[in-house]
Amino acid sequence: MEHEIPDIVIGRLPVYLRELSRLEREPDRLTTSSHELAERLGISSAQIRKDLSHFGEFGKQGTGYHIHYLIDRLTEILRLTHEWPVALIGAGFLGHALASYRGFQRRGFVITAVFDSDPAKVGATIGELTVRDAAELETALRADGIQIAILAVPADAAQATADRLVAAGVRAILSYAPASLTVPPGVHVSYSDPVVQLQQMTYYLRPQDG
């Protein structure tokens, strides 16, 4: 079933999960509706209902969705019922910030290893982690069974590093490198490029006079 569901639908599920988690923290909140979620997220209620219908029936007309139940189901669908170890490649300024970000662990992703090819960075500590030599990458990832990696390397090193990750068994890559990656079927890549995101938004702006 999962292969028949569009990627864009899967991409919205974590957004729903995040908003439901916020609702759950509100006092005395047990239920919500597609209309309320639509107002909070800027997504049509019909789209929300259609997205969720790919995975079964979660709500009842006139009653809405039971928040805690829907959180549990989305957590299962996204395979977030256990912690995922994550390898971070790149220990520069961005790598330091990512390794120090506690939001990953709160949501079930634990950076367990950091790698870099710069001898000046290898052996340094970031929090409780020691930066390891990128030469150990494949051996370490296979030994630890790591399937998720965060790529925080320069653009000219991104593809070669991604190739090594795939060869080591990584099947999900979050790339902060400003470059498009080519990966084989079965490997999923997501990009986080603030410059691209800013460029998308400036389309809607107009220069200020003066």
Taking the C-alpha atoms of residue 38 and residue 114, their distance in angstroms, rounded to an integer, is: 39
pLDDT of residue 64: 86
Question: H or E element: which one contains 189?
Answer: strand 188-191
- Residues of the chain with pLDDT below 70 are 1-3, 59-62, 209-210
Q: What would the pLDDT profile of 39-64 be if each residue is shown by its tens digit?
A: 999 999 999 999 999 998 776 666 78
pLDDT of residue 1: 43
Count of Cβ atoms closer than 10 Å to residue 102 Cβ: 8
pTM for this entry: 0.85
pLDDT of residue 61: 65
SS (H, E, C) 162-177: HHHHHHCCCCEEEECC
Strand locations in 74-108 (E): 84-89
Count of Cβ atoms closer than 10 Å to residue 96 Cβ: 19
Q: Using an 8 Å Cβ cutoff, are 181 and 162 in contact?
A: yes
- How many angstroms separate the most distant Cα atoms in the chain? 62
φ, ψ dihedrals at 83, nearest 5°: -80, 140
Partner residues linked to 86 by β-bridges = 111, 148
pLDDT of residue 56: 82
111 three-state secondary structure: strand
CA distances from 29 to 9, 36, 40 (A): 26, 13, 15
Taking the C-alpha atoms of residue 150 and residue 23, their distance in angstroms, rounded to an integer, is: 29
pLDDT of residue 8: 92
